Amino acid sequence: MEIQTSAGGFAGLDVQALAVAVFKDERADEGFLKELDEASGGLVRSVLESEELKGKEGESVYLHLPAGAAGPKARRLLLVGVGERADYRASHVSQFGGLAVRQLRARNVKSVGLVPRHEGGDAARSASAAVEGAVIGLFEPDKYRTVDKEERTVERLVVVAAGADEEALRRGAERGRVVGESVNFTRDLANEPGAYMTPTIMAERAQEIANEFGLDIDVLDQARMEQEGMGALLSVARGSDQPPKMMVLTYMPEGKERVEDGEDFLALVGKGITFDTGGISIKPAENMELMKYDMTGGATVLGVMRAVAQLKPPIPVLGVVPSTENMPSGKATKPGDVVRAMTGKTIEVINTDAEGRLILADAVSYAKKLGATRVVDMATLTGAVSIALGDVNTGILGTDQELIDEVIESGREVGEKFWQLPLDKEYSKQIKSDIADIKNVGGRKAGTITAAAFIKEFADGISWAHLDIAGTAWGDEAKPFRAKGPTGVAVRTLLNFVEREAARAGGAKEAEGKTK
């Protein structure tokens, strides 16, 4: 899709359709809507006065302007409700963009002018949100369909913000494209069947983004994992014929060679189970096919790194993705087996289906070995998180309240919700083992918390937060602004987080410079 911006008016815009945001209870007797109403020969007023559209979020009305009449070059108009004007944020602009292109694509529109009307907001930010929402909105999970596949495409998108700074608009739109495409990259990986997304293939995809966008990459194979003593990760891989991989991607800002001792170093760590059968503690058949998305945490890390490499924030970021299948076989780890993690900690494997925490244990340890001082890990870790929070909020837990608050706030800004669960030390009692240091399950109570308590055992000495995306990474139903299937949750939040951290680090450096 070709992406353009315009700081001029909507009237001369050479597109087939205009999509215009309409606020709750807005009338056509002043401002922008008055102008639009006049250009449309009174159609806008008629729609609003009939209350066919009240401006509530998610509502829309589609119109054809009468042939021959004066008015805008675009002959079709989509009015989109965006809710209260006072609450209108970048996250709403993004949903507006997604809804608009999905509705117009369904009507075979090839070129769209988006008028988000985020007049009070920062132009670059609005353009970014509008484009990102549109790119995300156009993703479909029907890759392997040969009939009834969504073949229509929007070929050209123009974001319109009359009077805005041209350069800011252009920059914003470009950022939106990078972010949207990276979210879709994550969704595409998550959507792939297990046969097409093995650890080896996932590592190839990581290698491709490293080559294309200029990231350092190291892929650990089984022999390297053995050298590192990653017994927890290897215990999960044992049952599979597919060799495990651990992808390590490093982004360094321009001019920076390495991270010095004592310097802040952020690592993102993501669970990359390319298919989770449960292993010997095998899962029931119903819905097992969905366990192809058990690598979404890893795909999220790759999506964020892909965008970071292009947006080039001034802070280094490390991405670590441990990847394996979880399969039953004659070689598989059995319930009751004891394995030794990279740190030397021994683990009694009570349930081989609690494999995510095992691979994350060694991945977090490895991130620490590489110098990470702050770790955010993400994983489709527990079914329990869907019971607690459904598909609305991602569960967040950790040891550093400031880090947790920053992630929650970064999410709020981009329209992704996180809800913190407690992680008191009492919960750790549930994972004490009689035979080893810890065990990999903590009983029926507080399943999401005891899973996090397990990872916490490997996150000592660092600042750490954990995202359980099991409930939010997959949408069972389509939304007006997004297809059903993989959601790409947390990519935008973490990118916003990285950019906020970069701004903070920049600010701190400046302050330091001033005091010198």
User: Which stretch, 44-52, 178-186, 249-257, 348-356, contacts ligand BES (CB under 6 A)?
Assistant: 348-356
Q: Which of 353, 468, 499, 501 binds Zn ion (CB under 5 A)?
A: 353
Tokens of 434: 């009689």
Establish if 428 lies at the interface with ligand BES (CB under 6 A).
no
Per the residue annotation, which of 357, 368, 439, 482 is the catalytic one?
357
Query: Site for ligand BES (CB under 6 A): how many residues?
Result: 15
Q: Which residue has the tokens 């009570």?
A: 350
Three-state SS for 27-91 is: CCCCHHHHHHHHHCCCHHHHHHHCCCCCCCCCCEEEEECCCCCCCCCCCEEEEEECCCHHHCCHH
Q: Which stretch binds ligand BES (CB under 6 A): 152-160, 328-336, 378-386, 455-463?
A: 378-386
Q: Does position 356 bind Zn ion by CB under 5 A?
A: yes
User: 3-state DSSP call for residue 190?
Assistant: helix
Indicate the angle between helix axes 123-137 and 166-191, nearest 10 degrees.
30
Answer with the entry of Zn ion, ligand BES, none that 447 interacts with (C-beta below 5 to 8 A by kind). Answer: ligand BES
Please, which of residues 137-166 interact with ligand BES by CB under 6 A?
A: none
Which pair of structure tokens corresponds to residue 126?
Answer: 């609005």
Supply 420's token pair: 């913190």
Name which of ligand BES, Zn ion, none residue 493 binds, using a CB cut-off of 5 to 8 Å depending on partner kind. none
Judged by CB under 6 A, the residue of 382, 393, 394, 487 near ligand BES is 382
Binding residue (CB under 6 A) for ligand BES from 232, 246, 470, 494? 470
Residue 441 touches ligand BES, criterion: CB under 6 A: yes
- Containing 378, the helix (H) or strand (E) segment is strand 374-379
Q: Which of 85, 156, 283, 345 is catalytic?
A: 283
- Selection from Zn ion, ligand BES, none that 80 binds (CB < 5 to 8 A by kind) is none
383 binds, among Zn ion, ligand BES, none (CB under 5 to 8 A by kind): ligand BES
* DSSP annotation of 308: H
CB of 461 to Zn ion, least distance (A): 27
Binding segment for ligand BES (CB under 6 A), chosen from 120-128, 248-256, 354-362, 483-491, is 354-362
How far from chain centre, in Å, is Cα 86? 27
Assess 384 for contact with ligand BES (CB under 6 A): yes
In the complex with Zn ion, the residue whose CB is nearer, 37 or 276, is 276
**Tokens linked to 400:** 């550093």
Q: Which is nearer to Zn ion, 121 or 272 (CB)?
A: 272
Which range of residues in 306-314, 379-387, 402-410, 456-464 is near ligand BES by CB under 6 A? 379-387
Binders of ligand BES among 267-296, rule CB under 6 A?
A: 276, 294
The verdict on whether 283 is a catalytic residue reads yes
Q: Which amino acid is at 283?
A: K
Burial 262-273 (b: 16+ CB within 10 A, else e): eeebbbbbbbbb
Picking from 268, 64, 292, the residue whose alpha carbon sits closest to that of residue 197 is 292
With CB cut-offs between 5 and 8 Å by kind, which of Zn ion, ligand BES, none does residue 113 bind?
none
Longest Cα–Cα distance of the chain, Å, equals: 83
Please, what is the minimum distance in Å from the beta carbon of residue 272 to ligand BES? 12
Candidates 97-105, 150-158, 275-283, 459-467 — which segment interacts with Zn ion by CB under 5 A? 275-283
Query: Which of 12, 42, 336, 383 touches ligand BES by CB under 6 A?
Result: 383
Shortest Cβ 292–Zn ion spacing (Å): 11
Cβ closest to Zn ion, residue 39 vs residue 358: 358
The helix/strand/coil state of 327 is coil
Q: How far apart are alpha carbons 417 and 324 in whole angstroms?
A: 29
Q: Does 137 bind Zn ion (CB under 5 A)?
A: no
Concerning whether 357 is annotated as a catalytic residue, the answer is yes
Cα separations in angstroms, 123 against 90, 98, 228, 234, 429? 10, 18, 49, 49, 51
Q: Which residue is nearest to ligand BES (CB)?
A: 383
Residue 103 burial class via C-beta count within 10 angstroms: exposed 0-12, middle 13-18, buried 19 and up = buried
The reply to whether 37 sits near ligand BES by the rule CB under 6 A is no
Does position 373 interact with ligand BES (CB under 6 A)? The reply is no
* 3-class DSSP state of 303: helix
Supply the minimum distance, in Å, between the C-beta of residue 354 and ligand BES. Answer: 4
SS3 readout for 87-128: HCCHHHHHHHHHHHHHHHHHCCCCEEEEECCCCCCCHHHHHH
Active centre residues (catalytic):
283, 357
Binding site for ligand BES (CB under 6 A): 276, 294, 351, 353-356, 380-384, 441, 447, 470
